[in-house]
Amino acid sequence: MKAFRLSALLLAVLLLAGCAPKTYTSTFFAMDTVMELTAYGSGGDEALADAQALVEELDRLLSVTGEDSEIRAANRGETVLLSDSTADLLSLALGLCADTRGALDVTIYPVVRAWGFTTGQYQVPDSGTLSALLDSVDYTQVVVESGALTLPGGVELDLGSVAKGYTGDRIMSIFQEAGLTSAKITLGGNVQVLGNKPDGSPWRVGIRDPGSDGYAFVVEVTDRAVVTSGGYERYFEQDGVRYWHIIDPATGCPARSGLVSVTIISQSGVLADALSTALFVMGAEQAADYWRARDDFDFILIGEDGSVTITEGIEDSFSFSGDWENHSLEVIRR
Ligand code: AMP
Ligand code: MG
């Protein structure tokens, strides 16, 4: 009897193991960061190969430094007949620059370079240099005519604030077309998930503690992008002041809005990426107004003072983790 029970148990375990879909993972370096793609179920291996090829193609087209990049060619003053992908992303990005009233401005590149964020040779530019460069920071100067882009003298594009989010959306389309129903991708700090975990429960995505290597919170999500912009991601310090890579286009200086981390949760990766940068520039109050004016995202803000603010849409799926347990929380409502 005991032997029978044991073998029945063994059979059940084997059946369960047999039911679990196959896991496919691919890890590679692109867009200046480590990418990790995981897909479940049949067709996952081919979908991952297609996704990696797409990432490499988008990296080639969109990079500010790559030899074959359409963005780099346009920044050098050439007229560029845009690929469908670059045209699509540029049009989405320009729409979001307008919608955020220039808190996102994809023509910020000359200023980003003056601070040394492109090379790592960091410096604090003098105010004369900055105000001269700011004259050419203006996304309304970017016009695509009959599929061709020609930038006015001095104007240079940087799609670094939106490229990974857009790439995430394109990967999700590949996965869906392959018939997959469960996948998770991490593109640097951007996380995007398809469906739920293979066991049917929501994906759990950790969000970094700005002051340590650990996590501050976890959100449970289904079919969402979770994108964080943080002052801790890329920065330098001089005379005791920290200068980070998110620039306020109004001043040409690192955005000091009182926030140190902005996470956006949305079905759209490109929206989440654009808004993580833009709301960091706006600050908490404007971010809340902006959220009330739309219905397609939620946010988590961490202030310089350690305060945490979330929007009501993720109230039930949000939890603090590690050292942050029992931290106070403000929930913004419509
Ligand atoms: P993210 O990490 O998505 O917030 O993007 C930050 C990157 O976007 C920076 O490294 C810059 O290359 C660029 N960037 C910085 N400030 C802005 C801004 N206000 N609007 C658009 N792009 C920006
Ligand atoms: Mg961004």
The secondary structure of 214-279, three-state, reads: CEEEEEEECCCEEEEEECCCCEEEECCEEEECCEECCCCEECCCCEEEEEEEECCHHHHHHHHHHH
pTM to 2 decimals? 0.94
d(CA 277, CA 273) in angstroms, rounded, equals 7
Q: Is 136 helix (H, G, I), strand (E, B) or coil?
A: coil
CA 72 / ligand 1 centre spacing (Å): 17
pLDDT band at 272 (very low <50, low <70, confident <90, very high): very high
Q: At what angle do helices 269-282 and 163-177 cross, to 10 degrees?
A: 160
Ligand 1 mutation pick, 71, 277, 281, max ligand atoms within 8 A of CB: 277
**Could you identify the atom of ligand 1 that is nearest to the CA of residue 158?**
12
pLDDT in tens, 176-233: 999 999 999 999 989 999 999 999 999 999 999 999 989 999 999 999 999 999 988 8
Ligand nearest to the CA of 96: 1
What is the predicted pLDDT for the residue at 195? 98
Residue 177 · residue 185 · CB < 8 Å: no
Q: Which residues pair with 40 in a beta bridge?
A: 23
pLDDT in tens, 98-116: 999 999 999 999 999 999 9
Q: Is 243 in the pocket of ligand 1 (CB under 6 A)?
A: no
**Could you identify the atom of ligand 1 that is nearest to the CA of residue 105?**
20
CA 273 / ligand 2 centre spacing (Å): 4
CA distances from 108 to 236, 253, 312 (A): 19, 11, 32
DSSP secondary structure code for residue 201 in this structure: S
